[in-house]
Amino acid sequence: MTQTEVVLEEKVNLFQQVQRQIDQAASIMQLEPGIHSILREPMREIRVSLPLKTDDGRLRLFEGFRVQYNDARGPTKGGIRFHPDETIDTVRALAAWMTWKCAIMDLPYGGAKGGIICNPKEMSSRELEALSRTYIDKIYDFLGPEKDIPAPDVYTTPQIMAWMMDEYSKLRGCYCPGVITGKPISLGGSLGRDDATARGGVYVVREAARWLKMELSGARVAVQGYGNAGSFAAVLLGKELGAKIVAVSDSRGGIYNPQGLDPTAVLQYKKKTGSVVDFGGAEFVSNKEILELDVDILIPAALEDQITGENADRIKARVVAELANGPTTPEADKLLHEKGVFVIPDFLCNAGGVTVSYFEWVQNISGYSWPGETVKQRLDARMTTAFEQVLSLFKEYEVDLRMAAYILAIKRVSEVMQLRGWI
Ligand code: NAD
């Protein structure tokens, strides 16, 4: 890669990356130009101003978004993020990925995403509740179990979902749990939602290993990001598939022990000290180094843009399982594919979360809750089927797995747009 290409790559924002991926899939599929132009833009964007009386008596104004990307397959679905660095482009990109994710999982949903630019770590519980309720007041007309169904995402919690559900129910004059997922269990949440993203990822890693004829027992795994998705994945990969977790990291850095770490003990240590760093018997590795370790499976589970044109050449893993959204840039994708690294793309690998959110919505609207074991079995069946369907296009088109997943998603979304007479 030349210097100019590296510089160009840095300038592309997350939504432009998504549009480049759509363009690439459209060209491979020879997609009709009109359909292509519809699919590369969001259907609806809502921007709201959110005034908040802070605890010290000031009046502050926050900015919030909701992007509904495409609702051809059903009501839109997607999380709400509270983050100081949130941008409309990130929300657009994530809303697009939700559209493709729901399509490849064959869920009866379109895709959406929401966000508020704020720093929840610096806000009191009262302030968070007030901001969450104001956000719903401003957008509730566009939400509903048959319109758009939010969920938790970065820095939003089951408690925040409970406040939002309550606000929506008050405004509508009804009890309406089906408007939002990721709620506390006692308020209509589903069993199995807490580890669903990781569990879904573990099921597709199992299927990928079966296809690659790769032994999982003792396979060496590195996990970047030891939060909800990454820590559950490490525990489950060890417990259910016999893999050896050799390195994990969080925002303060990482730890590495080639003999293997005990993921549950590391999790307890992180809960006590706030970080995995300094866990006994392991050496320090940086968040850059953890990506380049000599492992069999690499799991980026933190942030976007981690594997780039700059470091893709040094990735040694045979399988990259993207639990994070957007961890690999298009340039890196190309290099990894050429090197023969099997990348399980984010919107397949981390689709377990939205799948169990779908199960929660089904339980809410039917008024009947399922045992945890049923949730796990149905999640396994859906993840396995989606993997097989993407793999079949991977073989047919001779592309990488991400392009195969795009082709499947675009086929499904365009087919229903045609059937509904939109195009
Ligand atoms: P989280 O906040 O629970 O965990 C994130 C972890 O990443 C934390 O341990 C944090 O310390 C670490 N981190 C932050 N900056 C880092 C850095 N520079 N290097 C290494 N680690 C760093 O978030 P999460 O819910 O686990 O989400 C992680 C990723 O997975 C995000 O991209 C998210 O969009 C994606 N995802 C999560 C879910 C879900 O259900 N949780 C579903 C789909 C996708």
pLDDT score for 13: 87
Instruction: Look at residue 333 and tell me if it is in a domain.
Output: yes
Last residue of a domain, one of 297, 327, 349: 349
For residue 58, pLDDT over 70 is answered with: yes
pLDDT score for 3: 38
Q: What is the CATH number of the domain that holds 302?
A: 3.40.50.720
**Contacts of 291 by beta carbon, 8 Å cutoff, 6+ apart:** 222, 224, 298, 300, 306, 307, 311, 314, 315
200 and 60 part of one domain: no
- Extract the tokens encoding 293: 């370790």
Pocket residue to mutate for ligand 1, from 303, 308, 359, most atoms within 8 A of Cβ: 303
Instruction: Identify the burial level of 207 via C-beta atoms within 10 angstroms of its C-beta, where 0-12 means exposed, 13-18 middle and 19 or more buried.
Output: buried
134 and 59 part of one domain: yes
Query: Is any atom of ligand 1 closer than 6 Å to the C-beta of 226?
Result: yes
For residue 8, pLDDT over 80 is answered with: no
pLDDT score for 12: 65
Q: Quick one: average pLDDT of 333-362?
A: 97
How far apart are alpha carbons 131 and 418 in whole angstroms? 40
171 and 250 part of one domain: no
304 and 277 part of one domain: yes
70 and 180 part of one domain: yes
Instruction: Look at residue 410 and tell me if it is in a domain.
Output: no
Per DSSP, the three-state class of 77 is strand
181 and 206 part of one domain: no
Q: What is the mean pLDDT of the chain?
A: 95
How far apart are alpha carbons 157 and 180 in whole angstroms? 12
Instruction: Look at residue 85 and tell me if it is in a domain.
Output: yes
Q: What is the CATH number of the domain that holds 107?
A: 3.40.50.10860
150 and 238 part of one domain: no
pLDDT-based confidence at residue 6 (cuts at 50, 70, 90): very low
Of the candidates 40, 160, 315, the one whose C-alpha atom is nearest the C-alpha of residue 168 is: 160
pLDDT-based confidence at residue 11 (cuts at 50, 70, 90): low
For residue 9, pLDDT over 70 is answered with: no
Q: What is the distance in A from the centroid of ligand 1 to the CA of 110?
A: 23
pLDDT score for 178: 97
152 and 217 part of one domain: no
For residue 205, pLDDT over 90 is answered with: yes
Q: What is the pLDDT of residues 139-186, one digit of tens each?
A: 999 999 999 999 999 899 999 999 999 999 999 999 999 999 999 999
Among 6-20, 257-271, 314-328, 364-378, name the one with the lowest average pLDDT.
6-20
DSSP letters of 310-366? TTGGG---SEEE--SSS-B-HHHHHHHHHHT-EEE-HHHHTTHHHHHHHHHHHHHHH
Q: What is the distance in A from the centroid of ligand 1 to the CA of 422?
A: 37
With a pLDDT cut of 70, the percent of the chain lying above it is 97
**Contacts of 395 by beta carbon, 8 Å cutoff, 6+ apart:** none
- Residue 260 is given by DSSP the state -
252 and 323 part of one domain: yes
Q: Hey, which residues are catalytic here?
A: 113
What range defines the domain where residue 244 resides? 196-349
pLDDT score for 2: 37
Closest residue CA from atom 8 of ligand 1? 227
pLDDT-based confidence at residue 304 (cuts at 50, 70, 90): confident
Query: Is any atom of ligand 1 closer than 6 Å to the C-beta of 286?
Result: no
Total domains present in the chain:
2
Last residue of a domain, one of 349, 375, 395: 349
Q: What is the pLDDT of residues 214-254, one digit of tens each?
A: 999 999 999 999 999 999 999 999 999 999 999 999 999 99
End-to-end CA distance of the chain: 40
With a pLDDT cut of 90, the percent of the chain lying above it is 94
Last residue of a domain, one of 295, 326, 349: 349
89 and 166 part of one domain: yes
Instruction: Look at residue 282 and tell me if it is in a domain.
Output: yes
Query: Is any atom of ligand 1 closer than 6 Å to the C-beta of 104?
Result: no
242 and 345 part of one domain: yes
Q: Quick one: average pLDDT of 22-39?
A: 96
Of the candidates 357, 407, 414, the one whose C-alpha atom is nearest the C-alpha of residue 104 is: 407
How far apart are alpha carbons 343 and 21 in whole angstroms? 15
Instruction: Look at residue 371 and tell me if it is in a domain.
Output: no
Query: Is any atom of ligand 1 closer than 6 Å to the C-beta of 254?
Result: no
Per DSSP, the three-state class of 12 is coil
Integer angstrom CA distances of residue 52 from 46, 334, 366:
19, 46, 36
115 and 226 part of one domain: no
